[in-house]
Structure 1
């Protein structure tokens, strides 16, 4: 069967999976199993594209590396403790499986590697789920993604060590790449924002990986290092967004190739399903650790529930272990089935995360520490709230603060951004706009206007529904980009400002002012 037809079947299975409310990744794994049953064998092209997907995955991970964020105790502490506990737990699961299922036999080294692979959560799944819910910029998203990045780093280090490659002396020449960072950033700026920019990003990832391979360092690790060298720059963020779709597309081939390796045998199917169910142990473990490290219960719960799955990175680790004879190929097949089961279970948890918190809020609040209580934002005497202090929110704040002064409060989660606003003497607080606990601490009866400058339609809807549930009777205004978004919000009583449509009229008014001022200035000069 030609590869285009394989991709077509993957598309169909992905659409069916999405229609069923599950991640498309589940459909891709299923497509691989179906193709295997039909006697289809993956071609070299499919494996090549799979390798490209892995390289791009690590490159984009590198682009997101922010040492300051990763060094937070709650991020690295939660990751290390979770990996240690689950490593021991899954090691026990494999020993128990050998005793209960005689057909399952895995060596000690294989058990260690498989248990390590199961400690990860899926970066692709979590990011896609958070983006679909409009929460990619939230505090709990930043916490979850920070944990995922550290997990990915641990996996990359394992891959580099396991590959058994000893770098040659020429690897020292790679240190001279760092002075080229400024040049690379200037070239990225020169490329603009279109296809040339994306193509340059692909060259950096794939070419960099090949360069590291030539010096005896695993290419995937090289891609991550090159991405990390660019991290923190605006162009790196844009490049990560542009490459995200390419990376996800090529990873489809990776999931297909895993499924094409076939189903695990009967005993391993049982073990795979159990391992998939055991992914539900991750949220309570994360929640306990996060709250003990002074994370608000709501943030800890939402971040923990998003991590209730196993990772595709585990398949990469096991694939390398299989090449070295530590585990059999059927163990990789079993883990792919376990990942699919974990995705199926994690999807409803993610969709209903906010409802779960509201249902159990009184009990969950018992885990809140005194340190967290001491950081409650001060919103006393607030009459107007501006949610989202980016360029649009800052402009709105400055304009309305001319009339209302300190009664205007800006709300954002970005600590560095808030520090700049405070230096510029704006009244701002650190909070998650979608956090019901934040709104319950505000005297909503005295708030006359809430301005949603979030530019994320899903998040605007979420905050609007939350305020409606809390009985807010004041006015709400929101920034939108499309007419259908404005219509949807206005049905719920939210005044919508179409950013693109209104920008045109604002630009015309600005030009007209200069046009009217021109004759006066000419007359004065004469």
Structure 2
């Protein structure tokens, strides 16, 4: 039962990843090239270490054939999609430059995993699998479902149906891995404006079901001392894995912050290693004791990775001066700095509130306004509608280091959907002594205090302001004027 809950949780996770992902991200050389190069380099490096340990007389490796060691090295080159996405979502950084890079690499790894599992099963997908290509021209029809479902519970139920039936069950029926099907259905729906809302509506359910996944890792078996020692040795190899990611990303001319934080996020082992281990054990290629060792190594890598990522920004600040400088003109096009031009007002976060603030400042006050958003799909859509907007990551400290704020800039409006993002942006503005006025939006009353303490000049609670505007409009329509106006 626990495995079923865990499987549904992982399926919904991959579906929501697809909803948030721009398919063009996977076509970037730093994504597909980085994932491929790292897999090759990591597999070779780990194989060399395993052979060294075997020659040194490690008992658990003495009876393991070289072909199985290659299999283990390949499995341990993967990173955990579940853990990385959870860490990024918790920090509201899944749409940042490094977050998109990490998720893109993970999806490429998932594709490699599907190819491997299909090959290792010894059976090809059904000829009916070719019919799955019809989902591409059918995508506009699928998106119409989101228009008709509205919001709330019906939207969430529609998402579950699409992920589990049209995604998982349909793909499994024709011999293709169901988790990949859920990811592909999410990708096909991602261009729809409601895709982000659908992903948010499924967040709590997905989080609850993923508890089953983490519990299933811990309930594998009780390890003995030798298995614990070997698992710890595997965890001690994680810095090598992270270093290889960093070197690979540097080859693609990524900014140091992007490459380092993406590398730290991916420095863990994947649940895919357990699947490979189970396949090898079922065919007699791997002793069953190794399944316990791999489970413990994966669990320990999760703990180590979570701790490491909690201090990732501090690590970057300390290591930044040791890394070679990169000319901004030579950077990857997706990772170059931003010039705001002669903007008088800057709106960070171009969601519904940000767009309303942008239009008001432009039309009613005649200001030259610039919008900044981290979602490339939103940026493209708003550009087509005539907005002056740039893609940028306000949570990225390098964004502020490279930001060329014009002397004419008189105000900044913080309208990002996540409180943590607005706090981070406000801290960066204060650190850089921005002379203009800063206004922030909050969703909950308890968020007002921290924003004010950091020095925001004005803070607006979304629901209070909406209620006040509604009351004013209703009174004005009824010919009723405020008491102050009546006294005047």
Interval containing the TM-score (normalised by the shorter chain):
0.7 to 0.9
Shift of 1:364: 3.2
> Is 1:130 aligned to 2:88, yes or no?
yes
Contact 1:479–1:497, Cα closer than 8 Å, also in 2: yes
User: Which residue of 432, 442, 460 maps to 2:422?
Assistant: 460
SS in 1 for 2:390: strand
Q: 2-side partners of 1:463 and 1:221: how far apart?
A: 36
SS in 2 for 1:103: helix
> Is 1:81 aligned to 2:37, yes or no?
yes
Contact 2:102–2:262, Cα closer than 8 Å, also in 1: yes
Mark the CA change 1:106 to 1:256 in structure 2 (over 3 Å): closer, same or farther.
Answer: farther
> Is 1:46 aligned to 2:9, yes or no?
no
SS in 2 for 1:325: coil
User: Which residue of 252, 264, 274 maps to 1:293?
Assistant: 252
> Is 1:507 aligned to 2:464, yes or no?
no
SS in 2 for 1:429: strand
> Is 1:343 aligned to 2:302, yes or no?
yes
Contact 1:76–1:147, Cα closer than 8 Å, also in 2: yes
Mark the CA change 1:108 to 1:412 in structure 2 (over 3 Å): closer, same or farther.
Answer: same
Contact 1:279–1:309, Cα closer than 8 Å, also in 2: yes
Matches within 5 A, 1:203-352: 203-208=161-166, 209-352=168-311
* TM-score, length-scaled by structure 1: 0.80
Q: 1-side partners of 2:397 and 2:18: how far apart?
A: 33
Q: 2-side partners of 1:411 and 1:394: how far apart?
A: 10
Q: 1-side partners of 2:14 and 2:422: how far apart?
A: 32
Contact 1:107–1:326, Cα closer than 8 Å, also in 2: yes
Counterpart in 1 of 2:350? 389
Shift of 1:56: 3.7
5+ residue gaps, structure 1, are 1-44, 518-526
Count of equivalent residues: 473
Counterpart in 2 of 1:6? none
Counterpart in 2 of 1:428? 389
Most deviating of 130-139 and 359-368: 359-368
Mark the CA change 1:173 to 1:425 in structure 2 (over 3 Å): closer, same or farther.
Answer: closer
Matches within 5 A, 1:94-109: 94-100=50-56, 101-104=58-61, 105-109=63-67
Shift of 1:498: 1.0
Contact 2:22–2:377, Cα closer than 8 Å, also in 1: no
Most deviating of 82-91 and 168-177: 168-177
Contact 2:10–2:82, Cα closer than 8 Å, also in 1: no
> Is 1:110 aligned to 2:68, yes or no?
yes
Shift of 1:202: 3.1
User: Which residue of 314, 333, 338 maps to 1:377?
Assistant: 338
SS in 2 for 1:461: helix
Q: 2-side partners of 1:467 and 1:177: how far apart?
A: 46
Counterpart in 2 of 1:492? 454
Mark the CA change 1:445 to 1:504 in structure 2 (over 3 Å): closer, same or farther.
Answer: same
Counterpart in 2 of 1:471? 433
Q: State the Cα deviation string for residues 392-423 of structure 1 (Å, max 9, x = none).
A: 22222222234775653322233444345445
5+ residue gaps, structure 2, are 481-488
Mark the CA change 1:470 to 1:81 in structure 2 (over 3 Å): closer, same or farther.
Answer: same
Counterpart in 2 of 1:155? 113
Most deviating of 449-458 and 56-65: 56-65
Shift of 1:174: 4.8
Q: State the Cα deviation string for residues 488-509 of structure 1 (Å, max 9, x = none).
A: 2112221211112211222333
* TM-score, length-scaled by structure 2: 0.85
Most deviating of 113-122 and 465-474: 465-474
Q: 2-side partners of 1:133 and 1:146: how far apart?
A: 18
Most deviating of 273-282 and 217-226: 217-226
